[in-house]
Structure 1
Amino acid sequence: MSPTALIYGATGYMGRLTARRAAEAGMRPVLAGRDASALAATGRELDLRARAFTLEDPAVVREALSDITVVLNSAGPFDRTAKPLIDACLHTGTHYLDLAGEVPDFQLAADRDEEARAAGVMLLPGAGFGVVPTDSLAVHLHRRLPDADRLDIAFQAIGGISRGTATTLLSDLPRTGVRLQAGVYLPQRAAANTTKIDFGTGPATVVANPWRADLLTAAHSTGIQTIDTYTALPAPVRVLMKLAMRMPAVFTSAPWRALTQTLVRRLPAGPSDTALADGSSHVWAQVSTRDGRRAVAVLHGPEAYEFTARTAQVLLQRTLDGQATPGFQTPASAYGPDLVLTIPDVSRQDLA
């Protein structure tokens, strides 16, 4: 049986874009999801096989993955879809990748590390822009300054936004996230801290983003015990974050949910091909020691959704080629810090 990849959620914006990039690279993934008619249409468009199944019945999921080498889960919300797919993967010996980007989603996979090792299965969440560039940059800097005990990471995405990302962002506004201090995850509200970062075109305002899984992945990959993560966001979003911190009840109310659902429905499914080509992404990171030594680097790449699709395609291919380490893995722990440099149009520069 030849190695085979399956993309679950292939009719969503990100799953479809990844399937397109995989097909363009000569891969033949199986497209999967709940909607048989939508899958069939996407399958005809890309000339790929389609397989419709839901995740409610474990036996159905196991059967659907019985001939699959690696599955890429692109169907959010991942707190609902990851567990049934991981359960099935551990039963069928299928490697698991997903496009998650938040701490709880990664913790779900990390908690199954021992089972995965015993089953010979790799669990690698965050197979896209979510953590691949930040994890790679963190490990690169840690190798330059091995005794660093602090890591700061910030990113900037220039381009459009998908309905899925907008839904997650708006629903997360009142939710408390975490930061890592001395090895302990401490509660933190979004935008609790604001600072300036130069990604290469002048200072940009960034705010604390405590939902990012970079905390967990960088800690796993480097062992650094104090980590803060930041994101460059438009001023209106920063204002909403700060308001949600002060008035969380407003942002969990039924009127707010109804308003945001209406707004999200008016958005396009995701950036157009033109927006994908015109956008860009930038990651800055710094490691430091208590005595003041530091190492700083910046990474530049394509638009964030395009970055994700290209990265997921590369990771699917590597897994199909037999490059898969059993257990819970982060991108850099599995493939090293230079993995990100194999993605087209990505560059890295050491600043200090």
Structure 2
Amino acid sequence: MPIRRLTRKVRNPEAVAVAAIALRGYLDPQIAKSDFQDAMNKKFDELKLDKDAAARMLATFDRTKPSVRERMFGPLAVQKTIPVGYKVNLRPPVLAGSSTQLMRSPIRAAANQAAEPAAAAAGLARPPDQTHPDPGEGGQRAPKFATYTITYEGMHCIDETHADWAGSDETYVVTSALHITKQGDNVVRSERHPLRNGQSGIYGDVDSHETFVGPRAAVWSAREDKFIAGTSITTTFFEHDFGDPDYYKQEVEDAVIVAIAIVAHFFPGVGTILALIESKHLISDFINALLSTGDDEIGTTTVIVETDELEELSRTHTVEYFERRGDPGTGLDYQFLVEVNDNDYVAAFQVRRDPPLPPFEIIVE
């Protein structure tokens, strides 16, 4: 049976109610408009919010009795608009100057330490900056700006969703990447994996402790002068039952769009990285509360990869994934991992830089 998503705990209940109001106003032209709704509609149009997916998400919200919704998400959960004079009690964004590493889902990054622990004590040495090298014999300079690409490399199942004797999982992965341009625009890109020859599929017969390498697919790419601060990557694993996987790909993307739209409206002027952090928290809440039923969501994690991390990861050797130290190799190479649902599933990612630069060197003294 599908998971009843509204029973899942959310971090910011009132934000879910605000999201439902925003979706309702976007879908129903008869609802009186407000400054809030006008701002949401403009952002939804700009980011091409999918109305069919939005309608399914709102139907999931409305399927719960109003009295239960009000208890779970507050008084706004039974309203069609935000009442005049009502003060929305969204949690304020994280304070500037706080460590973003402590406020976001950690990236399990590969490093030379993992590949060569004996040399790790000596640390990593960065080669001289070669971002803008002098012209060589041909008199050509390297491109002024680097392009970074994050690729999905495959996944590993640590513990399938059912008891091992009850049958295998049928799994797919949805990634949704978000970055903010220097002009303040939001760019969202979503993919469903496995992605082969432009067609998305499903990982069949997935059992505990099983690895699926590839197919490699880009999930995000941008030139460094086209974005600010970095990117957020939302990774959601699904167990395929009787739903349409493409529906869920679009619903995950809609959750990302609604989250960044709400952050932009209620927290104008926050820095880019803080906007990504705040939207990260809302994305998980919206996926937990609003995704339609049909396929089971196994888990969702959003990580933020800042610009300096893109550079560092792109120049870090990949490491082969293993579930437990001493296990045989899986063939799944990564530079960072994203884990969901208490590590039941793991997705592997790599970062590429164009033009490439040499990996950081290990100095052994």
For normalisation by structure 1, the TM-score amounts to 0.27
Q: Which has the higher strand share?
A: 2
Larger radius of gyration between Structure 1 and Structure 2: 2
Q: Which has the higher helix share?
A: 1
The one of the two structures with greater contact order (alpha-carbon pairs below 8 A, sep at least 6) is: 2
